[in-house]
Structure 1
Amino acid sequence: MTGHIRLRLTQPQVTQVWADRGYAGDLVDWARERLWLSLRIVSRPKGTTGFVVLPCRWKVERTIGWCMNARRNARDYERLPQHSEAHLNWALVTMMTRRLTRKSPRTDTWSRKPRATQG
C-alpha cells in the first residue's frame, strides 16, 4: 500500500498540513487532489532578518524536539520506517502519560510559545 493511501486510511482526521516555502508549487495541488489535504505554506514575514518564530511551525518543531529526547529517536537505528514510526509513537505516548499523571500543573519553556527575537 502506498504511503499516501495509508495516511488517508490510518489518519483520516488529518486535514491540514503546514509546510515550508520550499514545498510550495505542485505539491500543494498534489496534496489536495490525492490526499484531500489542505497544504498551508508558512512563509517568513516580509522584511524580517534573523530568527523569527513562524506561526504554527513552532508547535511542530517543539514536538519533534520532545520526541528527540528519547534516546532511540535521536539516531536512525531502525531498518524499517515502521520501526521508527513505532518508536516515535511510543515516545509521544510516554510523554503524554507523564504529563497526564503529573500531580500539579507545570509550565516550562517547552509548553509556551517562544518569543520572536528582534533582528
Structure 2
Amino acid sequence: MREVARGLGLELEVVARPYAGVRGVWVREGEEVPEIPREGGFKPLPKRWVVERTFAWMGRNRRLGKDYEYHPEVTEAWMYLGMIRLLVKRLARAA
C-alpha cells in the first residue's frame, strides 16, 4: 500500500484504533496507546453528525430515498441535483 501511495506521489499515514471500545482516538503505527477514561452516556462523534445530516437532506429527495439506479453515475447526478436544489433554496431565502 505504501509503495502505491509513493508511486502516486501521496503521503500515507497508517493509524490504528487502540481498542474497539473507544471511538475517536487514533494512534500512529508504533506509538503507545494512551489510557483513556471511560465516560458514560451518549456522545456523538464530532464529524459523524454532519454526514448523517447530509444523508437526511438527500433522503428528502424522493428519487434518492432508495438506491435503485442501475448506473452509479445516475445516482451521483441525482445527488448533485439534490444538493443544488438545497443550496438554491437557501440562497433564495437569504435574498
Residue 61 of structure 1 corresponds to 52
Residue 33 of structure 2 corresponds to none
Residue 86 of structure 1 corresponds to 77
The aligned amino acid for 2:48 is R
The aligned amino acid for 1:53 is P
Q: Tell me how far apart the structure 2 counterparts of residues 48 and 61 of structure 1 sit (CA, whole Å).
A: 23
Residue 61 of structure 2 corresponds to 70
User: 4+ residue runs of structure 1 moved beyond 4 angstroms?
Assistant: 37-42
How much has 1:70 moved relative to structure 2?
Answer: 0.5
SS of residue matched to 1:102: helix
Return the TM-score normalized by structure 1. 0.49
The aligned amino acid for 1:76 is D
Which of the pair has the greater relative contact order for Cα pairs under 8 Å at 6+ separation?
Answer: 1
Cα RMSD (Å): 3.5
Larger Rg: 2
Please give the residue correspondences for 1:1-80 in structure 2 after superposition, counting only pairs within 5 Å.
Answer: 33=5, 36=10, 43-44=23-24, 47-80=38-71
- Report % sequence identity: 29
How much has 1:51 moved relative to structure 2?
Answer: 3.2
Instruction: Determine whether 1:100 maps to 2:95.
Output: no
User: 1:44 touches 1:52 (CA, 8 Å); kept in 2?
Assistant: no
Q: Deviations over 1:51-70 (max 9, x none)?
A: 32111221111111111111
Q: Deviations over 1:89-115 (max 9, x none)?
A: 1000000000011047xxxxxxxxxxx
**Structure 2 gap ranges (5+):** 18-22, 26-35
SS of residue matched to 1:75: coil
Return the TM-score normalized by structure 2. 0.59
Q: How many residues matched?
A: 76
**Structure 1 gap ranges (5+):** 1-25, 105-119
